[in-house]
Structure 1
Amino acid sequence: MTWDPKKYVQFGDFRNRPFFDLTARVLAEQPKQVIDLGCGPGNLTATLAERWPAAEVLGLDSSAEMVAAAEQQAHPANLSFALADVAEWTPPERVDVVTTNAVLQWVPGHQELLKGWLAALKPGAWFAMQVPGNFGADSHRLMRELAESAAWSERLAGVLRHRDAVSEPAEYLQIFIDAGMRADAWETTYQQVLQGDSAVLNWVRGTGLRPVLNALSAEEAERFEAEYSVQLDQAYPPREYGTVFPFRRIFVVGQKG
């Protein structure tokens, strides 16, 4: 799947906040190796390198476009980036902190991968994850219904996932505890106020709509977006101060016992 780094960071304040809420609960003091799985354009990974200047910090992403964008920006000397497929990754023996922010929802069966990763961590190592929990929201429901309609089902069959995209907080907590982690799981629904015309459409263009856009031609994508945008504007009517877009996020942080 191709990604647009510029589109992804368009709503930086809203996309960044869950990362900081997540990593604030990682209490590692002097880690030597830190890995950010699914680092994207690297701007948030850079904050880990600044927080732990004595650590070797590595950002991994499966998107060549994202890694290229990360490498082009100025970043601390202790930070590097590399291409990697999360589905084939295993934690190095000496890693002290692993973070993964809004990535695992793209990986089918990530719950089983998570069990293996946590089992492989050394005692004292930290693992912090965050995934969106809004697959039942109108933004995703309307997208799926349109994709499954007679006009689009032939082109978009099987493109969008829902039921198995993420687990609930309690399920992730159980995975962490079963792996011998001291863990904390929670959820937050951010009431995001987006600005501009077609505000919610512009938001999902950077993430949730990417599978649809990648599956369609430019002309088809324009038609799909036009239909989808009308429905979004009805579900999320703009107000005088902006468009309110509730966004639920699921967090888990744990340290290996």
Structure 2
Amino acid sequence: MADWNAGQYLKFEDERTRPAIDLIGRIPLTEIRNAVDIGCGPGNSTGLIVERHPNAHVLGLDNSPSMLAKARERLPRAAFEEVDIAAWQPDERYDLIFANAVLQWLPDHPHLLARLVSFLKTGGCLAVQMPNNLQEPSHRLMEKVSQEGPWAERLASASQAREEIGSFEDYYSWLQRAGCSVDIWQTTYVHPLADADAIVDWLRSTGLRPYLDPLSPEEQSEYLRRYRVEIEKAYPAQQDGKVLLRFPRLFFVARRQ
């Protein structure tokens, strides 16, 4: 995929940061010497770690130059590196590995989680949040529009860009096998947004990217037009004119024994 658009992503910064706030609040560590924020994006989640653990050495990792530029601007004293998380092999072990809204882009979660846990110190935590919204209208309609347009063949694999999220039992079992105690839960956030255009605008910087990136600018405009029509039908306006975007997210905090 093309590089992320950090400015587009940050249009909904408050809503995107809420899950990271909830996740960091469940981490049972009182003292952290070193932490890494994988898939740190523009640094909004990294900033939470820095604020909560001001004496820790905090490293942010991402594969997007645009996101890293924003992160460095936001947190000039923190360390950031451009890294492919799938191939990341650190030289040290961490008290905390924080992964907010990133692991859904990586495959083979049983192997991935075991690998990440191996980078923790004994007693360290892997804290993860992943969108679990592939069955929501917002995402089912992406696939519907992709199959009905002249771009159907080119977008045939777009839905495979994200890993299918497993069940509570899956993640509990995988993490226990990796030698962890596990705290796991799911929260459905309900975001009141201005209108259907706001839902489309939100998703342009995340879920829609695998569908838009292979298209020409003209095709992108037509895809978004058709998608917006479907979104407007699926998310009716409330009494105040706003629409409610349901957004389920899966969380877990795994502590290495």
TM normalised by structure 1 equals 0.94
Which residue in the other structure is 1:246 paired with?
A: 246
Which residue in the other structure is 1:256 paired with?
A: 256
Which residue in the other structure is 1:98 paired with?
A: 97
Q: Shift of the alpha carbon at 1:199?
A: 2.0
Structure 2: stretches of 5+ with no match in the other structure:
none
Any idea what SS the aligned residue of 1:125 has?
strand
- Write the letter of the residue equivalent to 1:243: V
Matches within 5 A, 1:81-160: 81-149=80-148, 151-160=150-159
- Write the letter of the residue equivalent to 2:226: E
- Find runs of 4+ consecutive structure 1 residues off by over 6 angstroms: none
Structure 1: stretches of 5+ with no match in the other structure:
none
- Write the letter of the residue equivalent to 2:150: A
1:87-120 C-alpha deviation (Å, 9 max, x unpaired):
0113543311000001011112233111122134
Report how many residues are paired: 255
- 2:8 and 2:136 map into 1 onto residues whose CA distance is 21
- Write the letter of the residue equivalent to 1:235: A
Which residue in the other structure is 1:200 paired with?
A: 199
Q: Shift of the alpha carbon at 1:223?
A: 0.4
Any idea what SS the aligned residue of 1:36 has?
strand
TM normalised by structure 2 equals 0.94
Identity value in percent = 39
User: Once structures 1 and 2 are overlaid, which stretch shifts more, 38-47 or 153-162?
Assistant: 153-162
- 1:187 and 1:253 map into 2 onto residues whose CA distance is 12
Which residue in the other structure is 1:61 paired with?
A: 62
Any idea what SS the aligned residue of 2:185 has?
strand
The question of whether the paired residues in 2 share the 8 Å contact of 1:50 and 1:76 is answered with no
- Write the letter of the residue equivalent to 1:254: A
Q: Does 1:49 align with 2:47?
A: no
- 1:22 and 1:52 map into 2 onto residues whose CA distance is 15
- 1:220 and 1:150 map into 2 onto residues whose CA distance is 10
For the aligned residue pairs, the C-alpha RMSD in angstroms reads 1.7
Any idea what SS the aligned residue of 2:60 has?
strand
- 1:7 and 1:76 map into 2 onto residues whose CA distance is 21
Which residue in the other structure is 2:165 paired with?
A: 166
